[in-house]
Structure formats: structure tokens, C-alpha cells
Structure 1
Amino acid sequence: MEKMSKSHEDYLEAIVMLGGTTEASVRSVDVATKLGVSKASVNKAIASLKEKGLADQPYYGDITLTDEGYDYGVSILDRHHLLFAFLTKALGIPAERAEEEACLMEHAISDDSFAKWSAYVKKLDL
């Protein structure tokens, strides 16, 4: 799948973090709170994710993810967790800064580079 904007990746990741799946829905107000954005911003982003076939939302209803949207969201969340663990455990970076930097890095690294880095880090057994 082609790489999406950081913003759209953040929305998918937030929906997964809030427990959203292909079956379990989340409320747009909860997504707005999690990301610190307006409900209007959530509605605009979800409309775009719907166009890409990654999310579903009936008119003014709750948000669910398609299979592809859920897989993408989980992959971003997995990247985040691995980057955060590496920054805090291997490098000793304070958690608050590691959280911010992991969020930046998860969007910037290519899939190929991440796969190679991930394989290397898993050998470190963090």
C-alpha cells in the first residue's frame, strides 16, 4: 500500500489505540480528544479515509475501519511501540521526549528501512 500523509496515519493509529477495528467502532469525539483536534477536523479526515477505502462511517455514526485500514493502523502503532522501546530502553531517552520522537520517526522511515532496522533491533531483545 502506498504511504499516506502523517495526518492520515495519525488518525488510523488513534482509532486503533481507542479500540477501533473492523467490528468495534469508536466515536469521532473520542478521536478528536485523543488527537487534540476539532470534531470537524475528524469528520474531514474520516471522509478522506473513507474515499481511500480505509474507514467506514454511516452518516453521523461511529467510525469503524476496513480490513486494510485496520492493518495499516496496527502497522503504524507497532512501529511506534518498537521505536519508543528502542529510544527509551536502548538509548535511555526520557519517555516524554521518546514519545514525541517515535511519533515523528514512525512516519518518516520507509517500509524497507524499517523492516531492516526492526530485524536488527529484535536481535537486541529489548
Structure 2
Amino acid sequence: MEKMSPSHEDYLEAMVELGGTADAAIRSVDVAAKLGVSKASVNKAMSVLKEKGLAEQPYYGDITLTQEGYEYGRAVLDRHQMLFLFLSKALGIPEEQANKEACLMEHAISDESMKKWEAYIKSLDL
């Protein structure tokens, strides 16, 4: 699958964090609150995610993720958590700063580099 924009990755990540799956629907108002955006912004992002086959939403209905959308969002969330763990626990960066920086890094790092970093982080036994 082609890489999404950081913004759309954030939407998928937030939907997974809110418990969204192919079987469990979430409300767009909850996504908006989690990301600190307007409901209109969620609707705009949903248009793209639906077009890419990553999410589904009947007219003004609740959002569900497709299996592919869930897997993509889960991968972004896993990256974020691993980077956050490294920054906060291994490097001692304050949690709020580590969270912000993990969010920036999760979008920029290549899959190949992330796999190597993941292996290294696991070797640290954090």
C-alpha cells in the first residue's frame, strides 16, 4: 500500500486508539476531539480514507475501518509506541516531549530503518 500523508496516518492511528475496527464503529465527533480538529476536518479526511479503501462511513453514520485501514493504523500506533518508549525510557526525554517527537518521527522513518530500530529497542529490554 502506498504511504499516506502524516495527517491521514494520524487519523487512522487515532481511530485505532479509540477502538475502531472493521467490527467496532467509532463516532467522528470522538475522532475530532482526540485530534483537536473540527468535525468538518474529520469528514474531509474520511473522504480520502474511504476513497483509499481504508475506512467506511455511511452518510452521517459512524466510522468503521476496513481490515487494511485497521492494519495501517495499528502499524502507525505501534511505531509511535516504540519510538515513545525509546525516547522516554532509554533516553530519559520527558514524556510530553517524547510523545510529540515520536509523532513526528513515526511518519518520517522508513520501514527498513524502523525494523532495525525496533530490533535494537527490543534488545534493550525496556
The residue that corresponds to 1:2 in the other structure is: 2
Q: TM-score, normalised by structure 1?
A: 0.98
Is 1:118 the counterpart of 2:118? The answer is yes
The residue that corresponds to 2:41 in the other structure is: 41
The residue that corresponds to 1:31 in the other structure is: 31
The residue that corresponds to 1:74 in the other structure is: 74
In 1, Cα distance between the equivalents of 2:96 and 2:47? Answer: 32
Unpaired runs of at least 5, structure 1: none
In 1, Cα distance between the equivalents of 2:123 and 2:3? Answer: 27
In 2, Cα distance between the equivalents of 1:70 and 1:107? Answer: 17
The residue that corresponds to 2:91 in the other structure is: 91
Q: TM-score, normalised by structure 2?
A: 0.98
In 1, Cα distance between the equivalents of 2:89 and 2:70? Answer: 28
Unpaired runs of at least 5, structure 2: none
**Paired positions, count:** 126
In 2, Cα distance between the equivalents of 1:2 and 1:51? Answer: 13
In 2, Cα distance between the equivalents of 1:115 and 1:4? Answer: 19
In 2, Cα distance between the equivalents of 1:100 and 1:120? Answer: 21
The residue that corresponds to 1:13 in the other structure is: 13
Is 1:58 the counterpart of 2:58? The answer is yes
Runs of 4+ in 1 over 6 A off after TM superposition: none
In 1, Cα distance between the equivalents of 2:101 and 2:42? Answer: 23
- Structure 1 residue 120: Cα displacement: 1.3
